[in-house]
Structure 1
Amino acid sequence: MQQNVKSTLSVLFALTTLVACGGGGSDSSNTGGTGGTGGTGGTGGSIAPAPVWTAGQFNDESQFKNFCVAPRSGTDPFNGGVYPDKAGTAMHEKMWLRSWNNRTYLWYREVADLDPTSYSIPAYFALLKTSAVTDSGVAKDQFHFTENTAEYQQQSQSGVSSGYGIEWSVVSTSAPRSFTVAYTEPNSPAALAGVKRGDFLLEVDGVDFVNDSSSAGVNTLNAGLFPDSTGETHSFKFRTAENTEVSYQLSSANIASSPVQNAKVITTTSGPVGYFQFNSYIVPAQQQLIDAIELFRDAAVSELVVDLRYNGGGLLALASQLGYMVTGPDIIQGRFFERLQFNDKYPTTNPITGSTLAPTPFYTREIDYEAGTLTNTTLPSLNLSRIYVLTTDDTCSASEAFMNGLRGVDVEIIQIGGKTCGKPYGFYPQDNCGTTYFTIQFSGINFKGFGDYADGFNPTSSPVFAADVKGCAVADDFSRALGDPQENLLEVALYYINNNSCPTLPGSAVTTALGARNATGSALSGLITPNGPAVKDPSDRVLNNSIRQPIRDQQE
């Protein structure tokens, strides 16, 4: 088999808030033009006349692309060459969004064609999505966002982002607020200072994080939690899982993400069990996953626990590779990982690449993600027909595709933890004028034709619905380190491996232990009535990381 792989393969894992380029307020330059660009523009040259909106008429997006309020200049440090930006207006940027969205958005028929003139660029983009809800009443499209292009490219290609190296578990962003440290990146400022899993945030720069609702207080909290640059020093006070108060001075830095952590072999009465914590489907994860799988293969593990509880997604191709590595050719037997479906304008063609639609295979070889090509190096595999997956509502996108793809080839998934976020969708990130836009363009269907899990995969001992998965509903446990065999989710997985059931017998040691260990954040969930202004939500990183971008131009 020969496969062409052409793409800029990337994934977002940003610590910043949503950013838009150029724009703000209404357009004062919306005169002239008849729906096209009205001129050639050019950086440093005359500004092209602003296009005019006409209801129901959608000009080709190329007429508006790269005409910018604030054109970039110089050389693009990530892709080489000169930026394509030309001098334009906010209306150019909004009309590009309108045409691009109408052509490629999965639910374009459910988007009202509003006159963009009076909206800022970010406000207008926010309107270009469906308002429909799922069966459970939540928004069908929760994954419509933007990111500064330079920051997106830096993270996607190197796994580097700015901050302290803290992954937060968030219950509430409004008072009474609840942020708990889920984990820290190795060798990050937070890890080196001693911040650890289970630390509950009390103060930032002397401001009461839990209760302060003043504008000045919220500004201080946001400035400390989300520093604008590296080298900023801010003070943090926490209450630990042991109920003691600790304070740290943390300086922001560029943080290199370590997507695979705590890979280990655990000895059980049922045999050796492999475990690893997997945080993000980004490019650096490929070699780390290979190393972990080789560790498990050499130890001849009989079972595998994949900890995806904080994995918001990433590269669909990497999810496919992991699917192959945990199983292998004898189990997959030539079946595909996932088939993409675009909107009804493109039943057989990919609207982004122009290629004929073909299923995403289980990739059996390493990928050169920089070049976008498959190598000749075959991936290691474990030949397992059953996988244990640890999940929370932060488990999203490519992580769910991994579960769904394996279920499609009859690999048994045992789900331990909480219901996943519900994102059977994906997109091709698109830059325009320094902002990268993410809007749903396809849904994913496994080999059996299933992809309807918009409300998430739900662990239950008695599956009824198609998105129910055999397993155990367990609260996240912040009192133990990830990878500790006595941490709730992992402990239940190990119990299930040894007993083929959830730990529900009265008086059992596992049940007693679980009852005694409540997660700090989870214990507050459902009890909090948020009030007042909210701080920025670091959980947006989960959405920002939920990129199921496939390899383009797939051909068997």
Structure 2
Amino acid sequence: MRKIILLAVSVLLNACGGGGDITAPTQLCQRTDTNAKIFCALQKDYLWYQALPTTIEPANYATPQALLDAVAEPQDRFSFVLTEQEYEDRYINATYFGYGFATVRADNNGALQLIYVFDDGSAAQNGLRRGDKIVEIEGRSVASWLSQLDAGKITNDDIYGPNVAGVVRNFVWKKPDNSTLSADLIKRDVATNTVLHTSVVVQGNKRVGYLVFNSFIELSEFELEQAFAYFVQQNINELVLDLRYNGGGLIRVANQLSTQIARNAVQGQTFVKYQYNDQNSGKNNTSLFSLGAGRSALNLNRVFTLTTGSTCSASELVINSLAPFIDVVQIGEPTCGKPVGMQPDLINNYVLFAINFQTVNALGQGDYFSGLTPECAVASATTGDWGTANDPLYATALAYIAGNGCNQQAVATSMNRMLAIKPRSTAPWQVNNEQ
């Protein structure tokens, strides 16, 4: 369980606390209650430990997460606590309970547009795909459901049903061609695939691979190997790596992916340098590029990365670590800005994910707390399934490969649209409604 991880998930801002005795932090490490042990761990390992309160009573906080929210450094949008079971479900078993899709609101809250669909879910098995718009659930319009949800009159369980195996909801959706379909979807455990799409297109004398990658977990090692074995067999000489919804995960998987992209250019070179707080400077170390669990690799001298504000953590690490060695053409929107990471710490029945190191590349670059800025600034939009020709990010990558650079006309149009996008929240990667 003690694996180096870069993660980007939401922090639940439900801090609570109050009166009661105040305990000196030095005394807390003698106690066995969970909150005291968590604060003790923060004193030792937290990257910003010097900003912690000098006096505190952890027992005054109802949950470990509430304690962490109350004491975290203001710039820390990333630290969090899970139960052991939540950790196993999310990062080891790669399962969750639902129908197997993620949506964003569309058409002025008149529809829910699918941005990705997991292969194992009831949604995929009934024909729903990225780009489809759900317009009706259980005989009621999505507009009506969302209006009541926003008014606080109902919950997501009222819309999608409780988390009970076998719950059925009828969905009506429109395809991008405006045809309408409907089906009964069944809620159950869904195994999530982290490689959402692979394809190859021929453009002139180029064979362009397209890989949509959604998270860096243990399952990804196998799925990435399958994807790159396919790309090697297809003899691709350009790669578009779509990280627009990828919030991060295991650093070793980020290393595998990076090495599979550009093996010859990075072999024996520094992938990442870890920098801990001054109490733990002895842990500072360097990790070299490595295929890890991978076997198949390309030898590309450039890669195109598609990014948004939901591109975070290990996804940013791939971009930053490859940049000193190959041409990394970033297309889309600025990333979330997380050049830091954590080593999970098992404390009683909880797993603490508190930021305890910063990462820099071979050139010592890593202060991108405001995000990595794209070379080609293009606003993301969902126009259909993966690989559709009018997807603005993917189309810009293909245009660049064809010799048209960033396609300035498209970029200008997209920049105008980007001005209308609301500022990123404190949890910029949390944009998806997974059900």
TM-score by length of 1: 0.67
C-alpha displacement of 1:230: 3.0
Q: Is the 8 A contact 2:207 2:238 kept in 1?
A: yes
Partner of 2:385: helix, strand, or coil? coil
Post-superposition Cα deviations, 1:148-195, rounded to whole Å, max 9, x if no partner, equal 3213213322322222111234699xx969853211011411112333
CA distance in 2, matches of 1:213, 1:294: 45
After TM superposition, the structure 1 = structure 2 runs for residues 204-215 of structure 1, keeping only pairs within 5 Å, are 206=140, 208-213=144-149
C-alpha displacement of 1:251: 2.1
Q: Is the 8 A contact 2:115 2:131 kept in 1?
A: yes
Whether 1:363 and 2:271 are equivalent positions in the alignment is no
User: Which residue of 399, 402, 414 corresponds with 2:318?
Assistant: 402
Q: Is the 8 A contact 2:246 2:315 kept in 1?
A: yes
User: Which residue of 331, 337, 347 corresponds with 1:416?
Assistant: 331
- Cα separation, partners in 2 of 1:430 and 1:202, compared to 1, 3 Å: farther
CA distance in 2, matches of 1:111, 1:159: 34
- Unaligned stretches of 5+ residues in structure 2: none
- Cα separation, partners in 2 of 1:362 and 1:262, compared to 1, 3 Å: same
- Unaligned stretches of 5+ residues in structure 1: 1-5, 31-51, 66-91, 132-139, 350-356, 367-377, 460-469, 506-510, 531-536, 545-556
Q: Is the 8 A contact 2:8 2:78 kept in 1?
A: no
Whether 1:94 and 2:28 are equivalent positions in the alignment is no
After TM superposition, the structure 1 = structure 2 runs for residues 384-399 of structure 1, keeping only pairs within 5 Å, are 384-399=300-315
Partner of 1:337: helix, strand, or coil? strand
- Cα separation, partners in 2 of 1:340 and 1:428, compared to 1, 3 Å: same
Post-superposition Cα deviations, 1:323-359, rounded to whole Å, max 9, x if no partner, equal 111111x31142110011111211122xxxxxxx321
C-alpha displacement of 1:97: 1.8
CA distance in 2, matches of 1:214, 1:489: 31
CA distance in 2, matches of 1:151, 1:19: 18
User: Which residue of 277, 284, 287 corresponds with 1:343?
Assistant: 277
Amino acid paired to 1:116: P
After TM superposition, the structure 1 = structure 2 runs for residues 525-540 of structure 1, keeping only pairs within 5 Å, are 525-526=421-422, 540=430
Post-superposition Cα deviations, 1:410-445, rounded to whole Å, max 9, x if no partner, equal 211101111111111111223334332322111111
Amino acid paired to 2:167: E
Q: Is the 8 A contact 1:326 1:382 kept in 2?
A: yes
CA distance in 2, matches of 1:218, 1:12: 31
Amino acid paired to 1:400: E
Paired residue for 1:120?
A: 62
Partner of 1:255: helix, strand, or coil? strand
- Cα separation, partners in 2 of 1:146 and 1:225, compared to 1, 3 Å: farther
Amino acid paired to 2:279: K
Amino acid paired to 1:263: T
Partner of 1:153: helix, strand, or coil? helix
CA distance in 1, matches of 2:5, 2:251: 10
CA distance in 1, matches of 2:8, 2:89: 10
Paired residue for 2:131?
A: 198
- Cα separation, partners in 2 of 1:178 and 1:363, compared to 1, 3 Å: farther
User: Which residue of 297, 303, 306 corresponds with 1:381?
Assistant: 297
CA distance in 2, matches of 1:56, 1:296: 54
User: Which residue of 113, 129, 134 corresponds with 2:72?
Assistant: 129
User: Which residue of 57, 78, 82 corresponds with 2:26?
Assistant: 57
Whether 1:438 and 2:328 are equivalent positions in the alignment is no
Q: Is the 8 A contact 1:12 1:152 kept in 2?
A: no
Partner of 2:336: helix, strand, or coil? coil
Post-superposition Cα deviations, 1:86-139, rounded to whole Å, max 9, x if no partner, equal xxxxxx2221121111211111222334333433123222112012xxxxxxxx
User: Which residue of 306, 309, 314 corresponds with 2:241?
Assistant: 306
After TM superposition, the structure 1 = structure 2 runs for residues 431-470 of structure 1, keeping only pairs within 5 Å, are 431-459=346-374, 470=375
- Cα separation, partners in 2 of 1:242 and 1:360, compared to 1, 3 Å: same
CA distance in 2, matches of 1:56, 1:25: 16
Whether 1:233 and 2:168 are equivalent positions in the alignment is yes
Amino acid paired to 2:58: P
Amino acid paired to 1:128: V
Q: Percent identity?
A: 28
Partner of 1:489: helix, strand, or coil? helix
Select the structure that is richer in helix.
2
Partner of 1:345: helix, strand, or coil? coil
Higher CA-based Rg: 1
Partner of 1:209: helix, strand, or coil? helix
C-alpha displacement of 1:322: 1.0
Aligned length: 426
CA distance in 2, matches of 1:364, 1:196: 32
Q: Is the 8 A contact 2:7 2:250 kept in 1?
A: no
Amino acid paired to 1:494: L
- Cα separation, partners in 2 of 1:446 and 1:278, compared to 1, 3 Å: same
Partner of 1:447: helix, strand, or coil? coil
Post-superposition Cα deviations, 1:55-85, rounded to whole Å, max 9, x if no partner, equal 353543xx445xxxxxxxxxxxxxxxxxxxx
CA distance in 2, matches of 1:148, 1:249: 33
Post-superposition Cα deviations, 1:205-243, rounded to whole Å, max 9, x if no partner, equal 547233225766332x24545843432234455565456
Paired residue for 1:286?
A: 221
Q: Is the 8 A contact 2:3 2:344 kept in 1?
A: no
Paired residue for 1:256?
A: 191
CA distance in 2, matches of 1:96, 1:319: 31
Post-superposition Cα deviations, 1:249-290, rounded to whole Å, max 9, x if no partner, equal 432211111111321221001411111111111111112212
Q: Is the 8 A contact 2:135 2:174 kept in 1?
A: yes
CA distance in 2, matches of 1:226, 1:362: 46
- Cα separation, partners in 2 of 1:97 and 1:257, compared to 1, 3 Å: same
Amino acid paired to 2:48: W
Paired residue for 1:493?
A: 397
CA distance in 1, matches of 2:121, 2:420: 28
Paired residue for 1:80?
A: none
Partner of 2:309: helix, strand, or coil? coil
Partner of 1:360: helix, strand, or coil? strand
Amino acid paired to 1:118: N
Q: Is the 8 A contact 1:306 1:388 kept in 2?
A: yes
Q: Is the 8 A contact 2:310 2:430 kept in 1?
A: no
- Cα separation, partners in 2 of 1:240 and 1:301, compared to 1, 3 Å: closer
